[in-house]
Amino acid sequence: MRTKFLFFALMLISGLYAQQDAQFTQYMYNTVNVNPAYAGSRGVMSVFVLHRTQWVGLDGAPVTNTAAIHTPIEGSKIGLGLSVINDKIGISDENDISADISYTIKTSEEWKLSFGLKATANLLSVDFSRLTLRNPGDYAISQQDNIDNRFTPNIGAGIYYHSEKTYIGLSIPHFLETSHYEDNTSSVASEKMHFFLIAGRVFDLSENVKFKPALLTKMVKGAPLQVDISGNFLINDKLNLGVAYRWDAALSAMVGFQISDSIFVGYGYDLETTKLANYNSGSHEVFLRYELFRNYEKIISPRFF
């Protein structure tokens, strides 16, 4: 009961002030979720699926599933992408279905600049009957009407400046600020504008070892600044080992393996550094990326981002 009540309180706070976009530790392998300008930038069709179980042991904690596909359009400067994110938190079930389009121009022999647009359909369901209340007669909660696939459209944009070894991107996946539910006294699942800054660089430490530090910064009104700093080592173009730190929130460990030219799998674990660690045993992520090569597209060394 204590954990249920604790999480319900946390959910109400986030609903009243700022609903965060889905959170991923291994965002660097699925950048198109936060920046539409990334669509097609890998040069091949890329399919990505990820499952995240957050705060294991805490009733109602977030469970997130996402799938994305993006590809360049042969003979053009255009990239296209399609992604789905399902985020279950407590009594809410939210789906984001997004379409991305990018346009890339070559600015020098080494660098490219990509512009992207994102269109999103958000579907939100909230079942208040699933609540476990300390006071079952609480009028403010018990009289709420359920929300059934409430539809909200949104648009976003991003820019992505990159070479073979360096990238930096700025994006706003959702421009429109909306409230999925509001009764003049309270709101649930308010969608706020999120600003994302991403950056990373690959360093060749030796013939067989590469190192990539990366940064993600997320800013949203009503929530603390989120800064994710990570470092990943690529060994023999096969094994990825990394650690990450989410500022004032969590420490993470990551491992990935390039099974073949096309298949890359990975796992991540988050250990909370806040008081919430007293109520859960951490967060887990698993993902798979599949890339569709044609014979003449195959590369000797896989892209590190």
2-6, 19-23, 254-258: which has the minimum mean pLDDT?
2-6
Domains identified in the chain and CATH numbers? 23-292 (2.40.160.60)
Summarize the confidence of residues 156-165 as an average pLDDT: 96
Residue 2, pLDDT > 90, answer no
Q: Give the pLDDT score at 14.
A: 42
The sign of the CA dihedral 202, 204, 208, 213 is: negative
Between the two ends of the chain, the Cα-to-Cα distance in Å is 43
Residue 253, pLDDT > 90, answer yes
57 versus 185: the higher-pLDDT residue is: 57
Percent of the chain with pLDDT over 90: 62
How far is it, in rounded angstroms, from Cα 44 to Cα 66? 20
pTM: 0.85
Residue 112, pLDDT > 50, answer yes
Q: Give the pLDDT score at 190.
A: 59
